[in-house]
Amino acid sequence: MRYAVIMAGGSGTRLWPMSTAALPKQLIPFINGKSLLEVAADRLEGLVDAERIYICTGEKFRGVIRKSLPRFSEEQILGEPMGRDTLAAVGLPGAVLDAADPDATIAVFTADHLIEPVDVFQQRVNIGYEIVEQDAKRIVTFGIKPTHAETGYGYVQLGEPVDGNEHCHHTGDFKEKPDADTAERYYKDGRYLWNAGMFIWRASTLMDCIARYEPDVHAGLMKIAEAWHTKRRRKVLEEVYPTLRKISVDYAVLEPASKDAKLELITVDMPVKWLDVGGWPAYGKTLKPDETGNRAGGEAKVITLGSADNLVVSDEADHVIALLGVSDLTVIHTGKSTLICSPDAADMMKELYAKVKEMFGEEYV
């Protein structure tokens, strides 16, 4: 049976001050009035039966998600007591679904991405499902053709085609965020795609990988799965989940799996427009510029004079932001905080977030 899981547990610190601990980026309705999570869920309509789509997120966001996405039942929202990185986030639904359905095939997506056109996305995901359904030892990842030499994304190397299918290749090495020279080499090479962070695997295969590569995590997940359909679910989940090793699925599973003779990693190319909305520069790309390159998002009321190529976002509809004689600025205004920075400073956002928290307290982050 086919299932899909949307991972929606990120903190979104690089989109502060709009993204906060109480309402992180994936839940903010700033994509044409929808949240990134709503967009991700809509993208799966018609691809997988609605009742077999799950959301793995922080338990504290359950109420917000149920309100914005009422079509998801309580059982379809897998609430994490706390964030433990992506191995735990994919391992939880993997353990639960493997226990319920020995033939479960799971596609894993994230709530960070904008992907167009949707029909091409669904067509390639269908190919991925078929590949895994044909052979349980296969793990599928998806690659996006680079449009430039990007240092902020991971890359996947393409090997030989699989069964003559030009869209499917044996997977070479996974490369984490490269330096500028290496990214330029990957871009020109043509055999490296951006790692889209989307995967398809049999639940049983995933759990076997975790058992072999991260046995302590597997033992914890088994305890949770055994209690899942009992009155002990919440108690066991809250006791065990915080003890799981905090590590990404890329490091814990995909890297060792790529060298594992028992497995076959396959990359399906996905020729789509793909945007990882990881920070304000990326979010700015979702907005249409005016004649001087200024972009406004959210509820922003903006006046510009002698100003160009600025990004302005506000969550207050009755607040006017005026820009006079400035260029290349990012201005983000909320009821509690205002950020003014250069787009080039995006890499410093996590450091700024930590300083705000340290100096002024958690209510401002």
In the predicted structure, residue 252 carries a pLDDT above the cut 90:
yes
Confidence at 208, pLDDT banded by 50, 70, 90: very high
Residue-level pLDDT at 347: 84
Q: Which residues contact 158 (CB under 8 A, 6 or more apart)?
A: 143, 169, 170, 171, 172, 191, 192, 193, 267, 269
Is residue 151 very low, low, confident or very high in pLDDT (cuts 50, 70, 90)? confident
Residue carrying the six token digits 């609430």: 79
Count H helices and E strands in the chain, helices first. Answer: 12, 17
For residue 80 the two structure tokens come to 């994490």
Average pLDDT of the residues in 93-109? 97
DSSP letter assigned to residue 218: H
Residue 286: predicted pLDDT: 95
Query: Would the pLDDT of 175 be above 90?
Result: no
With a cut of 80, say whether residue 68 has pLDDT above it: yes
Residue 205: its pLDDT value, please?
98
| Bond into 117 cis (ω within 30) | yes
Per residue in 13-31, pLDDT tens? 999 999 999 999 999 999 9
pLDDT of residue 113: 94
What pLDDT is recorded for position 272? 96
Query: What's the confidence (pLDDT) of residue 98?
Result: 97
The pLDDT, as a whole number, for residue 163 is: 82
Task: Tell which residue, 16, 21, 43, 45, has the closest CA to residue 278.
Answer: 16
Span of 163-177, 272-286, 303-317 with lowest mean pLDDT: 163-177
Residue 164 pLDDT more than 80?
no
Q: Is the pLDDT of residue 275 over 80?
A: yes
pLDDT category at 190 given cuts 50, 70, 90 is: confident
Query: How confident is the model at residue 320, as a pLDDT?
Result: 97
Q: What is the pLDDT of residue 152?
A: 84
**pLDDT score for 200:** 98
**CB-CB contact of 142 with 128 (8 Å):** yes
Q: What is the mean pLDDT of the chain?
A: 95
pLDDT in tens, 299-342: 999 999 999 999 999 999 999 999 999 999 999 999 999 999 99
Evaluate whether 192 touches 186 at the Cβ level (below 8 Å): yes
Q: Is the pLDDT of residue 11 over 90?
A: no
Q: Global pTM?
A: 0.93
Residue 43: which of 355, 300, 320, 274 has the closest Cα? 274
pLDDT of residue 225 exceeding 80, the answer is yes
Least confident of 9-13, 99-103, 199-203, 338-342: 9-13
Question: Which whole number is the average pLDDT over 60-77?
Answer: 96
Pairing of strands 192-202, 295-298: unpaired
Report d(CA 24, CA 203) in Å as an integer. Answer: 28
Which pLDDT band holds residue 12 (cuts at 50, 70, 90)? confident
- Structural tokens at position 68: 């914005």
